[in-house]
Amino acid sequence: MHVIDVPASLDYRALDALLDSTVPAPGKRLFDARHVRWVDPCGMLALLAAGTRVGAHGGELPHLQLPDQTDVLGYLARMGFFTAAEGVFDMNVRAPRRTASGESDVLLEITPITTNSDVHEVVDRVQGRAGQILSRTLRYPLSAVVQFSVILSEVCQNILEHAEAPGWVAAQAYRWQKRLGRHVLVISVVDLGQGFRGSLTEEHSARFGDRWGDATALEAAFIHGLTRFPDSGRGQGIQQIRKQVRRWDGVISIRSGRARIADVPTWDDMPPLTDGMEDFSGAAITIILPGPGDDDG
């Protein structure tokens, strides 16, 4: 049995390592998550994507050893991880069920996106909570709620229009006391579709010639706004999202294929472009929106 060690801090920085550890190989796989002490939406969706990939290639569900810490298990339950993991992992345990809570910093529990109606339902569901979290917790202006809804709709729509495959979305606000000294909103969208290169190849690969690859495709979409549509008026979502996230001094990162591209503010040290990783055929979009620091008023 091949054991995949799940990072103890299963957050957006661990996403690449987890996806890279699931290279297709024969035999039973076991995801050892016993030592996980922290997890965010990016980590949960990466774990679901990794498990789905392994199961698809191996023909049987991989086994998941759950975290030892009860508070981590409770958080996974609250975010709907165990419901989403049914049919992805063999867990062989009675996992805790999701419990209802009152005031919550959870903006959006893990939600599958398979149809346009799913996108509309997600946006409708988070409108109220988005207003509370963005204005009260992150201290954004009320007008930002509308802009955020557009961002959320666009990243979910990206799954349907470009990936042409199902995916998941989740979001939550946290206080990053040690890392940043402020609240942040972490949004994750992951799919297992054809990726950015697969989506753009037919329309754009010829103009790039030998340079065409995952990194070039990400740059084409992220920086230049190229889409798989021949008419220029469609599919501008990623570029517009990038501009809005930059206005809010946030992070946006996209992992697709063997590459990852990111727009990074001064408070994060993520490299702007990474290439040569293991192939991940889908796409993983991470957005981190910070509130003002303690000395920002």
Longest dimension (CA), the chain: 56
105 against 205, higher pLDDT: 205
| Confidence check: pLDDT of 214 > 70 | yes
Is residue 167 over pLDDT 80?
A: yes
pLDDT band at 187 (very low <50, low <70, confident <90, very high): very high
Give, as one character, the DSSP assignment of residue 232: T
Among 284, 280, 262, CA closest to 271? 262
**Structural tokens at position 23:** 């290279």
Mean pLDDT of the chain: 86
pLDDT of residue 86: 92
Which candidate, 222, 224, 200, 223, places its Cα nearest to that of 212? Answer: 200
pLDDT for residue 102: 42
For the chain, give percent helix, strand, coil, nearest 5. 40, 25, 35
Contact 167, 282 (CB under 8 A): yes
Contacts of 17 (CB under 8 A, 6+ apart): 7
Q: Residues 9, 123, 183, CA angle at the centre, nearest 5°?
A: 40
Q: Angle at the Cα of 50 (from 47 to 51), degrees rounded to 5?
A: 85
- In sequence order, which residues have a C-beta less than 8 Å from that of residue 215 and are 6 or more positions away? 258, 259, 261, 273, 275
Domains and CATH numbers, the chain: 1-96 (3.30.750.24), 103-297 (3.30.565.10)
Q: What is the pLDDT of residue 265?
A: 94
**How far, in Å, CA of 29 to CA of 77, rounded?**
23
8 Å CB contact between 74 and 44: no
Q: What percent of the chain clears pLDDT 90, i.e. is strictly above it?
A: 52
Quick one: pLDDT at residue 165?
75
pLDDT at 274 over 70: yes
Reported in sequence order, the residue ranges of the chain that DSSP labels E, i.e. its strands, are 2-5, 9-10, 29-32, 38-39, 63-65, 106-113, 167-176, 182-191, 251-257, 259-263, 273-274, 280-290
- For residue 233, name the pLDDT band (cuts at 50, 70, 90): very low
Residues 138-160 have a mean pLDDT of 86
Question: How many residues does this entry show for the chain?
Answer: 297
pLDDT at 12: 93
pLDDT tens track for 90-143: 987 665 665 544 445 788 999 999 888 998 889 888 887 888 889 888 999 888
For the ranges 52-56, 136-140, 160-164, 253-257, which has the lowest average pLDDT? 160-164
Lowest mean pLDDT among 33-47, 132-146, 255-269: 132-146
Q: Tell me which of 267 and 227 has the higher pLDDT.
A: 267
Give helix 237-247 / helix 143-158 axis angle, nearest 10°.
140
